[in-house]
Amino acid sequence: MRVRLARHAGFCMGVRRAMELVLAQSHQSEDKVYTYGPLIHNPQVLELLAGKGIEVLREMPPPGSVDGGIVIIRAHGVPPEEKARLSEAGFSRVVEGTCPRVIRVQAIIGRAAKKGADVIIVGDASHPEVVGLLGHAKGRGRVVSKPEEVAALPSLERVVAVAQTTQTGENFAAVVRELNKRFGQVEVHETICAATHRRQDEVRSLSREVDGMVVVGGRESGNTRRLAEVAGESGRPVFLVETEEELPRERLADLGVVGVTAGASTPNWLIKRVLRELAAVRSSREGGLSYAVRRTFRFFVRSQLLVALGAAGVTGASCLLQGLVPHPALAALAFFYIYAMHILNQFLDKEAGQYNDPDRAQFLIKHRFLLIGAGIFSAAAALVLCLMIGVLPFIVVSLLSLLGITYSLPVVPPSLRKRLNFASLKDIPGSKTVSAAGAWAVMAAVLPAMAFNIWHPVYLALAFVYVATLVFCRCAIFDVLDVQGDLVVGKETLPIVLGETKTQRLVWWLLAGLGGVMLLAPLAGAPAGESWSLLAPIAGMAVMQRVLVRGDMLPGALSEGLVDLNFLLAGALALAWWRL
């Protein structure tokens, strides 16, 4: 089945910010963490937060009844008097989690009320955001949910109209027209979140291009329900689901192309689980050969065979840059080592995988005995090959293997964990990306020089930088895609430490810098044709960075495979030069 994901599906800026605040406090603070009211309208997220010991305050505690702790105001915001009462209750800290766009609406209402204007809020009177907005109107606010309700308003002299940030533009415009008819020209502030406009316009367009739409999100979420309503305008079947378990697989099998979107309070891992289930549905319109090819490619990616082949390929490219004759044993060594480390570490670090890549997590569970056995065999094969090549390579790979296997294990003594603020190597910020780049570069660049005992420092440095930079960028690209799941489990990846935008810029600069190095490599004596041909994998990595960040391709087996094919491309180019 073909699946098309709306580019702006999932967490909006405000919800994401609130989630990051809550998770950061949960991981970094020893104080009890509370949210004042449910953080967002998504039962699965609330269940996850509850599992982390984050308690939801359903009622305002009496003054002085709380002995410390951190309370976070949810993205919808609260009336100002309630925020003050939270401080009086005895919490050690009150953290503002209100969406900045909601804060802007609160400020508009506050200024209007201060000037004596009557504020009309277009929205759902029972919605938490609207309740909070009313609190800033100083008793001069009224809520209208649809145009017909304007006639019931009392006579008002000066009217200011604002909208709940998740309202539909059509409904807000219709209410404003009625307000103008009733009270003359009113002062209108367009306060619908731009992200809401984009989502609705995108869904309206996407629903016309597919055979059916799946909308993922909590049924209590107003913006999710509105997305389903907008999708339904196309006349296509629409399925509103909270989890992948609710997907009507039999009805979906009759569709050729399915569009997917999600409400602003729907996390990425829920969307990915739905995408995984949809990908497993065989459409009645899909041919047998196409289905078989798709499933075979998925197996190669999910089993880590493709990335291991990529390690063998980039080893060939490294030999090319160093002027070394390729040897099958070196390619096999890189294949077995990278395969073993990737497979075994995925089983040691399963928690984040449940959120970052549910498809891979299910694949690991289904084939765990086969994959663990293959990983152990590959580790042993890598060590045997090293021993055949020489004692020094054997020692180097043994040390690398030990570091790789213990990467996810809590090796730091309990007495030092609090002082160092980490229990295992994976807890060190950015360690996964740096260690993976270093390990690949040692296997692909240093081991061949060591095996042949031919050392050209400039060429070795060129090969090391080439491999390390490509692998670093590969890991950073996937870390950006996995940032929500890593936040949940408390992993300190580069996007969490630096921020997603800075990480993306870092990738661009590294790829551009590597491209410049390869262009200038002939000045250091490297063969021009060989060096310049290896620009192709750099360009391919840059293209995949742009495609995935922009959301032009679904994250999953296909996108991961296309990223890793750049390493195979490097090997194919090297092989082509040796054949010439």
DSSP-based three-state secondary structure for 136 = coil
Residues 288 and 334 in one domain: no
User: pLDDT higher for 555 or 39?
Assistant: 39
DSSP label at residue 62 = P
- 255 located within any domain: yes
Nearest to 475 by CA among 367, 342, 363: 342
Residues 371 and 305 in one domain: yes
Q: Considering the chain, what percentage of its residues have pLDDT values greater than 90? A: 38
Beta strands at 187-188 and 212-216: parallel, antiparallel or unpaired = unpaired
How high is the pLDDT of residue 260? 92
Residues 319 and 459 in one domain: yes
Residues 532 and 467 in one domain: yes
- 200 located within any domain: no
d(CA 170, CA 158): 23
d(CA 175, CA 146): 6
d(CA 437, CA 472): 5
Residue 387 burial class via C-beta count within 10 angstroms: exposed 0-12, middle 13-18, buried 19 and up: middle
93, containing H or E segment: strand 93-95
Confidence at 377, pLDDT banded by 50, 70, 90? very high
Tell me the mean pLDDT in the region 113-131. 92
How high is the pLDDT of residue 178? 93
d(CA 573, CA 413): 47
Residue 421 pLDDT greater than 80, yes or no: no
The pLDDT tens digits of the residues spanning 452-469 come to: 888 899 999 999 999 999
Residues 457 and 561 in one domain: yes
Residues 321 and 340 in one domain: yes
Residue 419 pLDDT greater than 70, yes or no: no
Residues 359 and 249 in one domain: no
Residue 420 pLDDT greater than 70, yes or no: no
Task: Check if the beta carbon of residue 23 is closer than 8 Å to that of residue 53.
Answer: no
Residue 64 pLDDT greater than 60, yes or no: yes
Residue 298 pLDDT greater than 70, yes or no: yes
Residue 512 pLDDT greater than 90, yes or no: yes
Give long-range contacts, CB 8 A cutoff, 24+ apart: 495-498.
Answer: 496/429, 497/429, 497/430
Q: Mean of the per-residue pLDDT values for the chain?
A: 86
Residues 547 and 404 in one domain: yes
Task: Check if the beta carbon of residue 355 is closer than 8 Å to that of residue 484.
Answer: yes
- 2 located within any domain: no
- 555 located within any domain: yes
How high is the pLDDT of residue 10? 82
SS3 content of the chain, % helix, strand, coil (to 5): 65, 10, 30
How high is the pLDDT of residue 41? 77
d(CA 65, CA 68): 9
The neighbour count for residue 438, using CB atoms within 10 Å, is: 18
Residues 258 and 325 in one domain: no
User: Catalytic pick from 20, 88, 129, 245?
Assistant: 129
Residues 76 and 220 in one domain: no
The neighbouring-strand residues paired with 3 are 258
Q: Kindly give, in sequence order, each residue whose CB lies less than 8 Å from that of residue 203, ignoring residues fewer than 6 positions away.
A: 6, 213, 215, 227, 230, 231, 259, 261
2, containing H or E segment: strand 2-5
As for how many domains the chain has, the answer is 4
Residue 232 pLDDT greater than 70, yes or no: yes
Domain boundary among the residues 98, 131, 149 is at 98
574, containing H or E segment: helix 557-579
Task: Check if the beta carbon of residue 512 is closer than 8 Å to that of residue 549.
Answer: no
d(CA 246, CA 98): 31
In this structure, what CATH number is given to the domain that contains residue 237?
Answer: 3.40.1010.20
Domain boundary among the residues 144, 165, 192 is at 192
Task: Check if the beta carbon of residue 238 is closer than 8 Å to that of residue 212.
Answer: yes
The stretches of 390-456 forming alpha helices (DSSP H) are: 391-405, 414-420, 431-441, 447-452
Residue 303 pLDDT greater than 80, yes or no: yes
Residues 322 and 187 in one domain: no
- 425 located within any domain: yes
Nearest to 192 by CA among 108, 268, 114: 108
Task: Check if the beta carbon of residue 62 is closer than 8 Å to that of residue 86.
Answer: no
Domain boundary among the residues 160, 192, 224 is at 192
Residue 83 pLDDT greater than 70, yes or no: yes
In this structure, what CATH number is given to the domain that contains residue 62?
Answer: 3.40.50.11270
How high is the pLDDT of residue 68? 85
Residue 288 pLDDT greater than 90, yes or no: no
- 201 located within any domain: no
User: pLDDT higher for 437 or 282?
Assistant: 437
User: pLDDT higher for 356 or 364?
Assistant: 364
The parent domain of residue 187 ranges over: 101-192
Tell me the mean pLDDT in the region 495-509. 88
Residues 109 and 52 in one domain: no
Strands (E), 263-309: none
DSSP-based three-state secondary structure for 161 = strand
- 367 located within any domain: yes
Q: Please indicate whether residue 129 is annotated as part of the active site.
A: yes
DSSP-based three-state secondary structure for 210 = coil
How high is the pLDDT of residue 415? 61
Total number of residues shown for the chain: 580
- 204 located within any domain: no
DSSP-based three-state secondary structure for 323 = coil
Residue 48 pLDDT greater than 80, yes or no: yes
Confidence at 351, pLDDT banded by 50, 70, 90? low
- Best-predicted range by mean pLDDT among 165-179, 268-282, 349-363, 416-430? 165-179
Structure tokens at 460: 């070795």
